[in-house]
Amino acid sequence: MSFFQEPPRLGNQYDEDVLLRSYLERVLPPDLKASLEDEFRELGELSGGYFYEFQLRDRLNEPELTQWNAWGQRVDHIEVSPLWKEAEALTARRGLVAVAYERKSGDRSRVHQFALNYLIQPSLDIYSCPLAMTDGAARTLVSLGDKALVERALPHLTSRDPSTFWTSGQWMTERTGGSDVGLTQTVARRDAEGWKLYGTKWFTSATTAQMALTLARPEGNGEGGKGLALFYVETRGADGRMNGIQINRLKDKLGTRKVPTAELTLDGARAVPVAGLTDGIRNMASMLNVTRTWNAVASAWMMRRGLALARDYAKRRVQFGAPLAQKPLHVDTLAGLEAEFHGGFLLAFRAAELLGRMEAGTATEEELLLQRLVTPLAKLTLGRQTVHVTSEVVEGFGGAGYVEDTGVPRLLADAQVLSIWEGTTNVLSLDALRAMAKGGTLEALDVDARRRLAAAKDAGLRPGVVAVEEALGKARAWVMEAMKDPAGVEAGARRFAL
């Protein structure tokens, strides 16, 4: 009789996620958790059922750019995949951005929002990319406080109505540098109509967005990040035509293939300064803060999805007389990955907790310092972890893991971007060093770690406590050594951060 392998299956992604449920039990007040549970369960059901199946069906649909219409007019229209269209409507209805701004869950609103996204996004093919940038733009506009811009854009960015919901782009990277953004060559010129931008943006992911925040150098300004200004740009005018923006091409990428990442020319794009005419990089920092938190949580949900599939498959695949789930070495391999994922998850959600407390105004001084440090640490650590875990997941499926229409290789291809965009591992390691150089940060980390270790000791988790104490001891020794050798500090930044 012919034999056929069984595909992996997913159940309700909330009910099956012991880690998420125990975490929420710990950090959400009981009433709040009870009031959100239906919402979590519904998204868990959609994620493991309808949208997972949709994702597999939608696999070969990719965004398509049409630059010209039949009558010779430049249109630069991008058609996204059917899954992405539905993801946009779902985002608005479920408030996947809005929850953070409505703040109905108080200073747990970020935990609430990221739990929703963690549940559904693994089935939405990186639709999280425009959402992260939309959230980052909303946060930046609110933080910088230009009343007219907030009134214009915020209701759209946080809308729960699909017909009025907007996404935002974040256009920073140019050919001169994605890390060294201070090299930006785009210039801003003022004429009778206002400010207009001229230049090239080399990686712009949310090209279908209705607006973007971007950097440009007002004519006459000095070099570097200080000479840049942060600008608000709407991508199309009231007539639907592009606002002095041309889409040159979509990038042909290793992964994130549903994401329309484009190269743009700005040729007189009308723009509005968001907060003065200098310090663009500093003004963009609150955006990076939010998008890097998204990146960390996205890494966690990607590991979770890979492991959920691998665990299920291990129950179905029989080799050498028993399911893989009964082979001690396979079980040990998955358990190691699971432990790595648990650590990553807790770090990412710690960043989310701190962001929520900062925004709600309930964070202590110590927590504000921690937030600045934990965000790059979470982003860089989880970015690397996810590449490792998804690579092991591919191997856990054997040859099937290497075959595209199982949907498994996509996990690894998509994971690789998480350590590149929003600042590479090295750049974020240097950012973490900068954060640590700020007075009080190391002490805040130390106090926080000691408090957690004491709680873990009380709970009887001795072996784990010893391991963490050893790691902290090494980190302290490294800092002491590093102080003696500044060049060594930079060279060792990644090892230290990880």
Partner from ligand FAD, ligand MFK, none contacting 256, C-beta within 5 to 8 A by type: ligand FAD
Q: Element (H or E) spanning 202, and its range?
A: strand 194-204
Q: How far is the CB of 203 from ligand FAD (least distance, A)?
A: 3
**397 binding ligand MFK? (CB under 6 A):** no
Binding region for ligand MFK (CB under 6 A) out of 45-53, 103-111, 124-132, 439-447: 124-132
Q: What is the spatial distance between Cα 113 and Cα 134, in angstroms, rounded to a whole number?
A: 14
Interface mask toward ligand FAD for 341-360; x: CB under 6 A: --------------------
Residue with structure tokens 């000095």?
A: 222
Q: How far is the CB of 441 from ligand FAD (least distance, A)?
A: 20
Q: Which of 427, 432, 482, 497 binds ligand FAD (CB under 6 A)?
A: 427
Interface mask toward ligand MFK for 278-307; x: CB under 6 A: -x-xx--x--xx-x--xx--x---------
Q: Which of 17, 88, 359, 422 binds ligand MFK (CB under 6 A)?
A: 422
Q: What is the spatial distance between Cα 243 and Cα 270, in angstroms, rounded to a whole number?
A: 7
Q: What is the spatial distance between Cα 131 and Cα 345, in angstroms, rounded to a whole number?
A: 20
Cα–Cα separations (whole angstroms), residue 478 to 184, 370, 445: 35, 19, 15
Contact positions with ligand FAD (CB under 6 A) in 48-87: none
Quickly count: other Cβ atoms within 10 Å of residue 335's Cβ: 10
Tell me the sheet residues that pair with 213.
170, 232
**133 binding ligand MFK? (CB under 6 A):** yes
Contact positions with ligand MFK (CB under 6 A) in 241-280: 279
Binding region for ligand FAD (CB under 6 A) out of 32-40, 192-200, 421-429, 462-470: 421-429
| CA nearest neighbour of 100 among 138, 64, 133, 73 | 138
3-state secondary structure of 484: coil
Specify whether the CB–CB gap between 292 and 375 falls below 8 A: yes
**426 binding ligand FAD? (CB under 6 A):** yes
SS3 readout for 133-198: HHHHHHHHHHHHCCHHHHHHHHHHHCCCCCCCCCCEEEECCECCECCCHHHCCCEEEEECCEEEEE
> What is the Rg, in whole angstroms, of the alpha carbon atoms belonging to the chain?
23
Q: Which of 12, 123, 184, 205 binds ligand MFK (CB under 6 A)?
A: 205
Q: Which of 421, 432, 435, 436 binds ligand FAD (CB under 6 A)?
A: 421
Contact positions with ligand FAD (CB under 6 A) in 222-251: none
Per CB under 6 A, residues contacting ligand FAD are: 170-173, 177-179, 203-205, 253, 256, 261, 417, 420-421, 423-424, 426-427, 430
Per CB under 6 A, residues contacting ligand MFK are: 128-129, 132-133, 170, 172-173, 178-179, 181-182, 205, 224-225, 279, 281-282, 285, 288-289, 291, 294-295, 298, 421-423, 427, 431
